[in-house]
Structure 1
Amino acid sequence: MEPLIQVENIHKIYNPGENEVRALDGVSLTIHRGELVAIIGHSGSGKSTLMNMLGCLDTPTSGRYLLNGQDVSGLSDNQLSEIRNKQIGFIFQGFNLVANLDALGNVELPLIYRGVSKQRRKKIAALALKKVGLEKRMRHKPNELSGGQQQRVAVARAVAAQPPIILADEPTGNLDTKSTREIMDILKGLHQSGRTVIIITHDDDIAEQADRVIRIIDGRIEADYHNEHKIENENMSREDLQA
């Protein structure tokens, strides 16, 4: 099966020359459809730069990035914007909600950019909010919602247009324990429904909930492994249910 994401020897260099910074230094990785992947690293490790590459928010200095078999490494800003709009749903640590729009309006935004009619996008947005448990908060603006509720609006916005890839950048970084658990349950549910979910994090507890963990240090991948402990726990849970 052809990989959904294929990164080949990507470098990202800032300030080329004597004071250059190698944010990514020869990164290669493959992600298939339906995976739940955590990319983990400390501040300055290169994980945010890698997220920008995977999300088509930036282009590499050298190397190739194939998304759905298409080389997107050298595309224009407009071409990258179109790919982002159709194929990637973003969830950010800071929520990135529009303050003067209610929850429904915020979720509608990517659908407007896609040219979805007003009546249909309201229906899609309402359904997305219902799926994250906010059907009673659709008319509330961000400042009328808790942090966990704001992040659920952001999740609904990311999934409303049903993009094949969900890219979550520190999605629980500003949340308390209860809200963190709720958001992770939603992300794992999206994965179980067939989405490819990529979580960027510095938190080992979050990373260990993924099926696969990619550790990045100083712009290089230092480890890439499947989370056997999680798989064993899931298998044990299935056995309990069948008993």
Structure 2
Amino acid sequence: MEKTLIQLKDICKVYNPGENEVRALDHINLEIMEGELVAIIGQSGSGKSTLMNMLGCLDVPTSGSYYLHGQDVSHLKDNELSAIRNKEIGFIFQGFNLIANLNAVENVELPLIYRGIGKQERRKLAKEALEMVGLGHRMDHKPSEMSGGQQQRVAIARAIAAKPPVILADEPTGNLDSASSKEILQILKDLHSGGRTVILITHDDKIAEQAYRIIRILDGKIESDRKNDKILESREEIK
């Protein structure tokens, strides 16, 4: 039986309360199940980035509740949110956010240090993650010695090394050419096939169409939430 991973109940995020207030999120209700591959799509200013920050425990709502694995995380303090992010969520951003003077394996190890994982175990997890994204042969290379696609793969390895249940990918192909974009999307699909919950945030319909469920956001509200019949049908044919 499918388990609910994420549940948003009547979530609002209001900036500048009063007559000039901006409702970045306006009474959002949403459920995401464990093991889903979901795309959240919206143009600039639609509220999708605010929603991503909410899902990633980077921000808290003005009102409403957010349950992650059944725990209400909507009113936690910064240090408590940080602990949840560290344990539950792997982030992949458009800018790769790699440390220039560290090589690939050291970049992947960084979040594991914050989790208190010992040196040997850390190195093992980092190497496994780099091998998973096809970079076993580039572990000693620094970001400046890699292409954009390879840097993004290091960023993905960093996000998955601690085996978090949720992967949150914010415009993960935004800085990449089409060939590298395909590679990155395939890695995300493979992670999903391996049991991770993957949430893709994008403004691009072509990227959103790679997901099994597409949620469209407009003016801080969910405009539509649908299963992607094209992908689901092709999956049935493969079976």
Aligned twin of 1:209: 210
Determine the C-alpha separation between the residues in 2 that align with 1:235 and 1:66: 32
Determine the C-alpha separation between the residues in 2 that align with 1:89 and 1:2: 19
Aligned twin of 2:187: 186
Letter in 2 for 1:190: L
Aligned twin of 2:79: 78
Q: Does 1:103 align with 2:104?
A: yes
Does the CA contact (< 8 Å) of 1:9 and 1:27 recur in 2? Answer: yes
Aligned twin of 1:15: 16
Task: Encode CA deviations 1:81-131: one digit per residue, 9 max, x unaligned.
Answer: 000000000000001111111110110011101111111101110111011
Does the CA contact (< 8 Å) of 1:40 and 1:207 recur in 2? Answer: yes
Determine the C-alpha separation between the residues in 2 that align with 1:180 and 1:237: 23
SS at match of 1:4: strand
Does the CA contact (< 8 Å) of 1:35 and 1:197 recur in 2? Answer: yes
**How far 1:143 moved relative to its partner?**
1.2
Normalization by structure 2: what TM-score? Answer: 0.98
Does the CA contact (< 8 Å) of 1:46 and 1:216 recur in 2? Answer: yes
Q: Which runs of 4+ in 1 moved over 3 A?
A: none
How many residue pairs are counted as aligned between the two chains?
238
% same residue: 69
Alignment of 1:122-141 (within 5 A): 122-141=123-142
Determine the C-alpha separation between the residues in 2 that align with 1:141 and 1:19: 47
**How far 1:236 moved relative to its partner?**
2.1
Does the CA contact (< 8 Å) of 1:2 and 1:69 recur in 2? Answer: no
Aligned twin of 2:35: 34
Determine the C-alpha separation between the residues in 2 that align with 1:220 and 1:18: 20
Aligned twin of 1:219: 220
Aligned twin of 1:158: 159
Determine the C-alpha separation between the residues in 1 that align with 2:128 and 2:73: 32
Aligned twin of 1:51: 52
**How far 1:184 moved relative to its partner?**
0.4
Aligned twin of 1:175: 176
Report which stretch shifted further, 211-220 or 137-146.
137-146
Normalization by structure 1: what TM-score? Answer: 0.96
Aligned twin of 1:198: 199
Does the CA contact (< 8 Å) of 1:103 and 1:138 recur in 2? Answer: yes
Letter in 2 for 1:102: N
**How far 1:2 moved relative to its partner?**
4.1
Structure 2: give runs of 5+ residues left out of the alignment.
none
Determine the C-alpha separation between the residues in 2 that align with 1:25 and 1:97: 34
RMSD: 0.8
Structure 1: give runs of 5+ residues left out of the alignment.
239-243
Determine the C-alpha separation between the residues in 2 that align with 1:82 and 1:235: 39
Determine the C-alpha separation between the residues in 1 that align with 2:118 and 2:178: 38
Determine the C-alpha separation between the residues in 2 that align with 1:231 and 1:62: 35
Determine the C-alpha separation between the residues in 2 that align with 1:148 and 1:2: 34
Determine the C-alpha separation between the residues in 1 that align with 2:13 and 2:100: 34
